[in-house]
């Protein structure tokens, strides 16, 4: 086994994996290991046993012969195997499971093109810091670099994308390698991990022997030498394969802020007159439950902006939650706490922060925490540690502290003014079809408390981010900083499986929906009722709104007002259409879609919309 690991601090499981690679860990061949040639067991059973011991409930996949044994073994152990129509969807589904449950999402794909099809989703998980375990099939260990079917250098492909990479070379290595990978995925800064499982470590001895060793003893010295080598190679491959090994989780390594750092931050914040908190996705990571984090934020009493997975933490309309005019608020704040938020393009690389503000930043990842601090901003206190735990300790240290109410009221008044502007834009006529701002306001009014929002698109989704509010914590899924299109179907699949009693509402741009359409076959086959609302303006509008005025051409930005609802019906789902002719029926159609979902059907609502100036000046590059 050859693990490829990053050098970031706080990543558990790496020392164990290195020990395995040096031959010092459990499961490596020792003279006492035996080979049970009569056994019909296979390495897929070892994979399934580790997944079950880690509480894995779902395995996402697109089937391939390289990985069939582990799929069958998982099914036998009660792990639900969910197959998709594209491997990228399987990874997105595992990513959603990881985000919503705080555990590792697991996906298995076949060798070669099966793995290359996952690259975008794995990179998205890396940037979003989602703990995903990717299990990849591979050619036989004996046939590596010999031109076998679908054999490529998969390790080199995934080293830049995953914080842990290992190729299993013997059956007995499966269990310790997977345990180390699961721990690495969740420790330090969470992220995807990759374990390569060659075909000969997954299939049973008698099948591998049939393919590897000649049935008749060869004649001649060379032939006999080759046969002797293959017999010994096979014995080493299966030696000790079924000896009992621990299968459960290894301890995680999660960095924590020191008491001294927390106290310094308490002192800085206690002197603030206009404090502000920006909470990002890292705040929702285990071990701090979302309800405990919410209490901490409420106890702290500081106005806050919520981004990423932190959206919805305070519910729909909380007085501390400020939603609009973030740049202006940051310029006025005298102390800013960046809790799991980084100074990348979303904060103008730090330029949006005032030079006179005192900045406290906390993040598990030191490199991200200090991004652009050598150019546009400087932290007063930089804390490498778990964000949720830090916020709880910060609130405890400031127990009883209050801030003047006029600061929060000033921010809320700015919110109200911006929302009045939105209402005015919702009432403005558009040249054709429906006003998307008005449609999204009606979605906001209709959205139930038990909903999970999945968003996948550009212009329509960017508008929705201002108008539609998640009803609680862990009820909003977007791709994250990578801005990936095509996450929708996979995220919806993972979300509905994790929370079957929730209504999963997917907001799609019409461009983005093209990636997810075929997965309505998946939803139908697996009886996964989700709602897709498509803002169909017949174009890649987020690009077009800048390309046309800047470069004078709409080339490659135009689509058609396609009947996506009819295409979904062809896949066995339900389809509904909203257009100007049904302008007064928007709420009724949304309720009809809800009812069809409750009856067990996936639904596509194709909403024909016109163009507005709502997002003029928004970021497209």
Please check whether residue 452 is in contact with residue 473, taking contact to mean a CB–CB distance below 8 angstroms.
Answer: no
Report the pLDDT value the prediction gives residue 612, as an integer from 0 to 100. Answer: 87
Q: Do the beta carbons of residue 218 and residue 227 sit within 8 Å? A: yes
Burial class (CB in 10 A: 0-12, 13-18, 19+), 616: exposed
pLDDT digits (tens, 9 = 90+) for 272-316: 999 999 999 999 999 999 999 999 999 999 999 999 999 999 998
Task: Assess contact for 62 and 86: CB atoms under 8 A.
Answer: yes
Task: Report pLDDT for 562.
Answer: 97
User: What confidence category does residue 176 fall into, taking pLDDT thresholds of 50, 70 and 90?
Assistant: very high
Strands (E), 441-529: 451-456, 476-477, 503-509
The mean-pLDDT minimum among 428-432, 522-526, 560-564 falls in 428-432
3-class state of residue 55 by DSSP: coil
Cα angle 49, 50, 53 (rounded to 5 degrees) comes to 85
Give me the residue label for tokens 């702290």: 300
Question: Which residues 6+ apart lie within 8 Å of 128 measured at CB?
Answer: 95, 99, 281, 308, 479, 480, 481, 482
Report pLDDT for 618.
64
* Percent of the chain residues past pLDDT 90, beyond the cut: 86
* Share of residues in the chain with pLDDT > 70 (%): 94
How would you list the strands of the sheet with 58-62, edge to edge? 4-5, 164-167, 193-198, 132-138, 105-109, 58-62, 80-83
Angle of helix 436-446 relative to helix 586-598, nearest 10 degrees, comes to 50
Domains of the chain: 38-238 (3.40.50.970), 259-411 (3.40.50.1220), 428-608 (3.40.50.970)
Task: Give 437's pLDDT tier (boundaries 50, 70, 90).
Answer: very high
CB of 197 closer than 8 Å to CB of 67: yes
Collapsing DSSP to helix, strand or coil, 370 comes out as: coil
302 and 402 in contact (C-beta within 8 Å)? no
C-alpha span between 309 and 475 (Å, rounded): 8
592 SS3 class: helix
Tell me the pLDDT tens digit for each residue of 51-91.
999 999 999 999 999 999 999 999 999 999 999 999 999 99
pLDDT class for 19, splitting at 50, 70, 90?
low
* Res. 219 pLDDT band, cuts 50 70 90: confident
Average pLDDT over residues 504-514: 98
pLDDT given at position 617: 64
Predicted TM-score (pTM) of this structure = 0.93
CA distances from 464 to 407, 460, 475, 590 (A): 27, 6, 14, 16
Average per-residue pLDDT for the chain: 92
310 vs 474: CA distance, rounded Å: 7
Give residue-wise pLDDT tens across range 453-489: 999 999 999 999 999 999 999 999 999 999 999 999 9
Q: Residue 305, Cβ neighbours under 10 Å: how many?
A: 21
pLDDT at residue number 198: 97
State the Cα–Cα distance between residues 322 and 198, nearest whole angstrom.
51
Q: 14 vs 102, 125, 186, CA distance in Å?
A: 21, 20, 12
pLDDT at 3 over 70: no
β 105-109/358-363 pair status: unpaired
The DSSP 8-state label assigned to residue 301 in this structure reads T
Give the tens place of pLDDT for each residue, 531-589: 999 999 999 999 999 999 999 999 999 999 999 999 999 999 999 999 999 889 999 99
Kindly state the helix (H) or strand (E) to which residue 3 belongs, with its residue range.
none
Convert 164-201 to b/e letters by CB count within 10 Å (16 or more is b).
Answer: bbbbbbbbbbbbbbbbbbbbbbbbbbbbbbbbbbbbbb
What integer is the mean pLDDT of 514-524? 98
Distance between CA atoms of residues 61 and 45, nearest Å: 17
Alpha-carbon distance of 191 to 186, in angstroms, equals 7
Position 14 pLDDT exceeds 70: no
> What confidence tier does 619 reach under pLDDT thresholds 50, 70, 90?
low
pLDDT digits (tens, 9 = 90+) for 322-351: 999 999 999 999 999 999 999 999 999 999
Give the whole-angstrom CA distance, residue 449 versus residue 519: 26
Residue 113 above 80 pLDDT? yes
């Amino acid at each position: 086994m050859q693990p490829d690991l990053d050098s970031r601090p706080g990543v558990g499981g790496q020392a164990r994996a290195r020990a395995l690679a040096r031959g010092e860990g459990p499961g490596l061949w020792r003279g006492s290991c035996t080979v049970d040639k009569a056994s019909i067991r296979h390495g897929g059973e070892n994979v399934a046993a580790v997944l079950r011991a880690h509480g894995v409930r779902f395995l996402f996949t697109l089937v391939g012969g390289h990985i069939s044994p582990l799929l069958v073994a998982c099914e036998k152990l009660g792990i639900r195997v969910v197959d998709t129509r594209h491997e990228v969807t399987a990874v997105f589904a595992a990513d959603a499971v990881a985000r919503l449950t705080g555990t590792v999402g697991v996906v298995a794909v076949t060798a070669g093109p099966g793995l290359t099809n996952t690259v975008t989703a794995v990179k998205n998980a890396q940037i979003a810091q989602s703990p995903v375990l990717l299990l990849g099939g591979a050619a036989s260990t004996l046939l590596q670099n010999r031109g076998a079917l679908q054999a490529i250098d998969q390790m080199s492909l995934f080293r830049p994308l995953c914080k842990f990479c290992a190729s299993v070379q013997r059956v007995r290595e499966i269990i310790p390698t997977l345990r180390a990978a699961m721990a690495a995925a969740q420790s330090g800064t969470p992220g995807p991990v990759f374990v390569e499982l060659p075909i000969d470590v997954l299939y049973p001895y008698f099948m591998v022997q049939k393919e590897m060793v000649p049935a008749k003893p060869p004649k001649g010295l060379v032939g006999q030498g080759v046969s002797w080598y293959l017999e010994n190679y096979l014995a080493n491959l299966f030696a000790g394969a079924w000896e009992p090994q621990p299968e459960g989780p290894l301890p995680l390594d999660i960095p924590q802020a020191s008491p001294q750092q927390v106290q310094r931050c308490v002192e800085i914040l206690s002197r603030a007159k206009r404090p502000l908190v920006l909470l990002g996705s890292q705040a929702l990571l285990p071990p701090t439950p979302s309800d405990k984090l919410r209490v901490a934020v409420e106890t702290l009493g500081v106005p806050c902006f919520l981004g990423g997975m932190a959206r919805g933490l305070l519910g729909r309309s909380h007085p501390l939650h400020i939603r609009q005019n973030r740049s202006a608020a940051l310029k006025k704040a005298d102390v800013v706490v960046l809790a799991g938020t980084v100074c990348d393009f979303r904060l103008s690389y730090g330029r949006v922060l005032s030079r006179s503000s005192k900045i406290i930043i906390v993040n598990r990842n030191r490199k991200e925490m200090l991004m652009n601090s050598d150019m546009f901003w400087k932290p007063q206190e930089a804390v490498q540690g778990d964000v949720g735990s830090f916020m709880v300790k910060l609130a405890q240290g400031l127990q009883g502290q209050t801030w003047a109410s006029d600061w929060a009221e000033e921010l809320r008044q700015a919110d109200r003014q911006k929302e009045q502007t939105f209402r005015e834009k919702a009432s403005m006529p558009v040249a054709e079809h429906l006003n998307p701002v008005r449609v999204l306001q009606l979605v906001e009014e209709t959205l139930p408390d038990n909903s999970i929002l999945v968003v996948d698109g550009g212009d329509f989704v960017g508008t929705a981010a201002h108008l539609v509010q998640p009803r609680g914590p862990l009820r909003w899924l977007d791709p994250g900083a990578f801005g990936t299109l095509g996450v929708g179907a996979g995220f919806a699949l993972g979300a509905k499986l994790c929370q079957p009693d929730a209504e999963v509402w997917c907001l799609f741009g019409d461009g983005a929906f093209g990636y997810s359409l075929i997965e309505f076959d998946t939803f139908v086959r697996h009886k996964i009722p989700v709602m897709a609302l498509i803002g169909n303006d017949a174009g890649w509008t987020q690009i077009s709104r800048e390309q046309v005025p800047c470069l004078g051409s709409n080339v490659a930005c135009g689509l058609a007002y396609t009947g996506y609802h009819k295409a979904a019906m062809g896949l066995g789902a339900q389809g509904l259409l909203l257009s100007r002719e049904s302008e007064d029926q928007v709420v009724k159609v949304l309720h009809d879609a809800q009812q069809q979902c409750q009856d067990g059907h996936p639904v596509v609502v194709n909403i024909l919309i016109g163009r507005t100036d709502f997002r003029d000046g928004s970021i497209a590059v």
